[in-house]
Each structure stands twice: as C-alpha cells, then as structure tokens.
Structure 1
Amino acid sequence: MNETNAGGVRRRSVEIVVPVYNEAHVLAGSIGRLHAYLEDSFPFPFRITIADNASTDATWTVATDLTLRLPHVHARRLEQKGRGRALKHVWSLSTADVVSYMDVDLSTGLDGFLPLVAPLLSGHSDLAIGSRLHRQSAVVRGPKREFISRSYNLLLKAGLGARFSDAQCGFKAVRTEVFRALAPRIEDTAWFFDTELLVLAQRNGLRVHEVPVDWVDDPDSRVDVVRTAVDDLKGMARMFRATVTGRTRIHAVPRRTTVPQNVTALPTGAATAAEPMEYAS
C-alpha cells in the first residue's frame, strides 16, 4: 500500500476500515461503490479493510469474495462483537500513514472523504471528524435521532468540556502514529470508542479537524439507542474520573510535523472543504 512515484518519492497512504456485523445483504454493494469511487477519484494509495465483528450470517463469505474480486479490499474477522474493538484491532496493525473508518451504509457522502483525510496527510491536524452539526452540513434524519445526537453532544460539552461538535458521526480519521499512542488508554470496545478517542486527543493537546458532511439516515440501522445511551453515560462518568485523576494525560503522543521532503505533498486544493472547523487544545 505504501507506494513510490516515478521519482522514488514515497506516497502517503490511507486505510479505510468498514466495521460490519451481519451486513451480508448490503456489503457487496457498499464496498463495490466505495472501491469504485476511490479508484476513480482518490489521489493516494489506499486499502479498504472489512472488519467482521463476529457475524453470524454470510457476511464473512461475502467479505472474502470481495477480497478476491477487488484489488484494494482486504478482510479481517474478529470472534467478538464491538465496533470499537474492530477499529482498535485493525488500526493498530495498519501500515498506512492515516487510518479511517466509515459505516457500511455509506450514510456520509463520499465527496467528503478527501477533505477529511487531507489535513492529516499534510501534517496540519492529528484527527479529523465529519460533523453533521456543522452549519453547512446537509443532513436527512428523523427528529428523534436528531434530538438524541444533539443532546449527547451537549452533555459532552457540559460534562467533559468537549470542543468537538459531533462525537458519533461514523466518518473519522486519525494519524496512525497518534492512534497507537492513544490506543492503550482507550477502554471501550463498542460505540463510546469514538468519544473516548476524541476526549483523549483533546486532553493531550492534539488538533481535531472538522468537516461538514452530507448525511442521510439509514432506516435499517440496528443500533440499540437506549442501551447505547446508557453505555455512553457510563463512559462519560469514567472519562470524567480519568480526567480528574490525570489518567488521560499521555506523555509520548507524537506531535505534528509538516510533510517530509521525501513524501509527496497533497494535490492543490485537496484540503479546502467548505469552511472546515478545527481547534487546538
């Protein structure tokens, strides 16, 4: 995946993880669409990794078939459920410069992917998230999920001092070396994984880049909203205690640098999403 150009200069690379659980009915279509889009328009070497979270249907069979048909698709199977567990496993093993993930339903418009990862590839930022709450985002979803999402992010701001706007959007990326430094402190293996990653990043002075997204709610989503909300509240309480005791501080976090001279720079205009937001703690 780490390639060089004609002049022998290494090109920066990205790994996109798609965590799945019992998604055999949509997996081939979604991965085929993602693969075709990236081959056609993404200017960096990439790998798509399907992370099967102990599916009990034909998901693994479909995934392995896709690895035989599509050159940039790989698959890993975990014998335990948990989106956070899958991301932590694959991201920790990645050889790419930047690791990312998106939901299998591709609810987030793919045109937002290059603006998401470009600030990380250039060395400008450490993490990047898609925000459905950005004023320039175009979001289609029901009032119940909209209320829950906004309420949760308000709780994060009030309880943990969060300065990121949308912790739960399934469209994120992080510099691989940064993730490896944070990973040992990330305890959650399910949905709170994203929030924990972002809080740790903020507590350690890392820069988070936010981009507006086009996002359409998936009516087939099987997330248990009540259980997830309870787990999130427990996670927030744990992170508050960790902050008070100083356990969120990590001394060996890699700091940003500009792109080295032996690495190709970004295409002109690659990081110019419409009014992106970023902060440095």
Structure 2
Amino acid sequence: MTYTRINKLSLVFPCYNEEKRIPLMEEAMKEFVAQWNSGFEIIIVSDGSTDNTVEMINQSTFFSELQDHQQLLIIDLPINTGKGGALKAGVINATGDFILTLDADISTHPLQLLRWESVLKGFNNNEVLIGARTHEQSVLTEKPHRKYIGYVFNLLVRLFTGVRFRDSQCGFKLYPAHIARNLFEQLDEHGWVHDVELLMRARMQKITVREMPVEWIVKEGSKIRVIRDSIIMLLTLIRLSIKVRLFSFHPHEK
C-alpha cells in the first residue's frame, strides 16, 4: 500500500449563474492560499451561465493575479450541462495530482482539508475521501427540512442502487487525479445524481471510498427546486438501477 501527500491540488468549482457568490468564493480562496503550503490550481467552470459570473471573476484583482501565475483556469461552457457535466470538464482539464471538488457557495470551506488528519499525514493514493454531513463528527448549520430530504434521498439511493453511504450528495470530495479522471471520463449522468453514479463506478472498480467529517453551512440561493428536482432525481435513480440490473452497467462503459 502506497501512502502519499498532496504535491499539487486542483480545486474544481462548478458554477451556474453565481455572480453574487464570486466575492464569497474570492474571500475563501484568499484564506486558502494564505494557509495552503503545497502547489495548487483553481478551476472555475461556468456551466452556461447567463449572468455576469465570468465577468465578475475577470474583474477580480486576486483572480487576475492567480491567472498571471497560471494558478487559475476559467472554463466557460457555451451551454448548461448540469453540475456533473461542469465537474467533468474541470476534472479533465486539471493538472494536479489530487483533485478536490467543492461547491461555489463554499458551504464547506476548502481549508476543511487541513482538518482531515489523513490528508496531513499522507493517505492511500488509491482511495477517495468524501465529505459526509451525517458523519458523527460533522458540524452542520442547515434547515430541518433539508436534513429530512437528504435522509430520504440516501435511503432511496440504497434501495435503487445498492450504494451504501450516509451522504452521497455532499459536494466536497477529494480524489487522486488518476481515479478522478477515470471515473469522470465514464460519467453518463451530468445532473444532480452524478455523485451516485461516480460512487457506483468506484464500488464496481473496488476503489475504497471513505466518508469524512465536514463543517457544512447552508447558504441562501440554492439552485435546487425541491419538488421538480426531487422527481428528476428519483427518475434518474430508477434509470441507474435499471442499468445495473438489466443492462450490465459496466465500470468501463462510456
């Protein structure tokens, strides 16, 4: 078993109409840069945004300096592909040896990594670490109905796909780059349920996935429309279940 540390971290942010959150992201990344002692790059993927997301990034002196030092890549997709599609574009273009995916609203701060002892001491470079809001050591600030919705959704994930994690949907996930590229290149589901497919493929390839504690703060302005997106996510879970049980869903399918 090989243990390693992070030499260069790629942070991948999917963004769709996030102009109001760019200042928050900028502040968080300033804090990250001040404390992170290894190499890094930031990849911001604008997923067909129709507001001023990209313009806000380009107007930032901080982000401009990162671009000058080749520490920031902005990917401006012409159409909205979904969160999974945006992450896929970012992961494929990442150059770090580890890739961290996280949400643009900074519900979990990137410095959470410094609280993961396994990251600081080195960990198995063939495993994936995923944030779990249901972990007993996690600290949450969220509305009760969201917690209930998440609980029900993860029960449905177990029922339809057999993926047995307490929290498949937390956006804070750390991958060795070779695993991230392998999983995302195969990704078919580009919407909200992409996390479930990634975990299904990881299980089929016998990749170890560990749930880790996070500090998670709910932010206003969520893009999830509860009723409509819940129906879509349920139908997607059913489709994934059918692929597994009837059509020999294979870890190397494209």
TM-score bracket relative to the smaller structure: 0.7 to 0.9
One-letter amino acid of the counterpart of residue 30, structure 2: A
| Segment of structure 1 superposing worse, 232-241 or 63-72 | 63-72
Aligned length: 241
Is 1:78 the counterpart of 2:94 in the alignment?
no
CA shift, 1:160, in A, is 1.7
The residue number in structure 1 matching 2:11 is 16
**In 1, Cα distance between equivalents of 2:229 and 2:74:** 26
Secondary structure (helix, strand or coil) at the match of 1:36 reads helix
CA shift, 1:120, in A, is 11
The residue number in structure 1 matching 2:136 is 135
Is 1:39 the counterpart of 2:10 in the alignment?
no
Quick check: 1:18–1:49 contact (8 Å CA) kept in 2?
Answer: yes
Q: Is the alpha carbon distance of 1:116 and 1:57 closer, same or farther for their aligned partners in structure 2, counting shifts above 3 Å?
A: farther
Is 1:210 the counterpart of 2:206 in the alignment?
no
**In 2, Cα distance between equivalents of 1:110 and 1:179:** 18
**In 2, Cα distance between equivalents of 1:119 and 1:83:** 29
Deviations 1:186-210, CA, capped at 9 Å, x for gaps? 1111211111111111122111121
One-letter amino acid of the counterpart of residue 25, structure 1: K
CA shift, 1:38, in A, is 2.1
One-letter amino acid of the counterpart of residue 79, structure 2: Q
The residue number in structure 2 matching 1:162 is 163
Q: Which consecutive residues of structure 2, in runs of 5 or more, have no partner in the other structure? A: none
Quick check: 1:204–1:249 contact (8 Å CA) kept in 2?
Answer: yes
Quick check: 1:204–1:250 contact (8 Å CA) kept in 2?
Answer: no
One-letter amino acid of the counterpart of residue 119, structure 2: A
Residues 216-255 of structure 1 mapped to structure 2, 5 A cutoff: 216-244=217-245, 245-250=247-252
Deviations 1:198-250, CA, capped at 9 Å, x for gaps? 11111221111211111111122131122221222222122222222332334
Secondary structure (helix, strand or coil) at the match of 2:131 reads strand
**In 1, Cα distance between equivalents of 2:122 and 2:59:** 31
Quick check: 1:116–1:172 contact (8 Å CA) kept in 2?
Answer: no
The residue number in structure 1 matching 2:94 is 94
Secondary structure (helix, strand or coil) at the match of 1:220 reads coil
One-letter amino acid of the counterpart of residue 75, structure 1: I
Quick check: 2:25–2:106 contact (8 Å CA) kept in 1?
Answer: no
**In 1, Cα distance between equivalents of 2:185 and 2:42:** 24
**In 1, Cα distance between equivalents of 2:88 and 2:47:** 12
Q: Is the alpha carbon distance of 1:117 and 1:212 closer, same or farther for their aligned partners in structure 2, counting shifts above 3 Å?
A: same
The root-mean-square deviation of aligned C-alpha atoms, in Å, is 2.4
Quick check: 1:120–1:174 contact (8 Å CA) kept in 2?
Answer: no
- Percent identity between the two aligned chains: 27
Deviations 1:150-203, CA, capped at 9 Å, x for gaps? 101111122222222111112112222112222343111121111111111112
Quick check: 2:32–2:111 contact (8 Å CA) kept in 1?
Answer: no
